[in-house]
């Protein structure tokens, strides 16, 4: 099985320092939905792994998160794409949970659910936490320069060997080449 793990905000959709708190605030990055549809067409399973501390902070509830994800799923369907599963950590940044990136717990949940070994599975993010979690789980980390990617690229703790691409569409073009 070909599996890829994607962060949501900054990879698939535009990010916000004030959090994406409603479906109206969720907007796809140009080309990202079509890139996911291409992955699907080439037989890839696409999973989202996203920190959603806005829930733990009380900024929005599960009904709102579900509505945001419903908008993403419907937007993908309009271009022939799909997400196979969405994993998220609802805990605030000061939590000691093991599912909040940069910890790899969410990735381990994905491995268990899909019964796969994560070694070499591409994991795409725009933040340092994303690529650190991917590396800790044994995935191949990809950094996109959308979202927080430009700042992350310069971070001294960026894991060695992280592949850097302009956006998700460029990652996908390389993976299916």
Tokens encoding 94: 């000061």
Tokens encoding 87: 């994993």
Phi/psi region, residue 115 (left: phi>0; alpha: psi -120 to 50; beta: rest), is left
- Average pLDDT value for residue range 132-158: 98
Fold of the domain spanning 2-175: Rossmann fold (3.40.50)
- Average pLDDT value for residue range 75-80: 98
The confidence score (pLDDT) of residue 14 equals 97
- Average pLDDT value for residue range 100-129: 98
Mean confidence (pLDDT) of the chain: 97
Q: Inform me whether the pLDDT recorded for 18 exceeds 90.
A: no
Q: Is 7 a catalytic residue?
A: yes
Q: Which of 9, 15, 126, 130 is catalytic?
A: 9
Per the CB < 8 A criterion, the answer to whether 164 and 132 are in contact is no
pTM for this prediction: 0.97
Chain segment 23-43, per-residue pLDDT in tens: 999 999 999 999 999 999 999
Q: How far apart are the first and last CA of the chain?
A: 17
Q: Inform me whether the pLDDT recorded for 4 exceeds 90.
A: yes
């Amino acid at each position: 099985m070909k599996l890829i793990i994607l962060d949501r905000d900054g990879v698939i959709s535009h990010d916000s320092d004030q959090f994406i708190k409603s479906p109206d605030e969720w907007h796809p990055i140009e080309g990202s939905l079509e890139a996911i549809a291409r992955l699907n067409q080439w037989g890839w399973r696409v999973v989202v792994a996203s920190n959603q501390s806005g829930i733990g902070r009380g900024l929005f509830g599960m009904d709102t998160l579900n509505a945001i994800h419903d908008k993403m799923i419907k937007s993908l369907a309009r271009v022939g794409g799909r997400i196979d599963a969405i994993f998220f950590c609802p805990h605030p940044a000061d939590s000691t949970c093991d599912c909040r990136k940069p910890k790899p717990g969410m990735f381990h949940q994905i491995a268990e659910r899909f019964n796969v070994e994560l070694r070499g599975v591409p994991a795409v993010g725009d933040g340092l936490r994303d690529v650190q979690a991917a590396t800790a789980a044994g995935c191949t980390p990809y950094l996109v320069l959308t979202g927080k990617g430009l700042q992350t690229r310069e971070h001294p703790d960026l894991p060695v060997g992280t592949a850097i691409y302009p956006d998700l569409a460029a990652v996908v073009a390389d993976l299916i080449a």
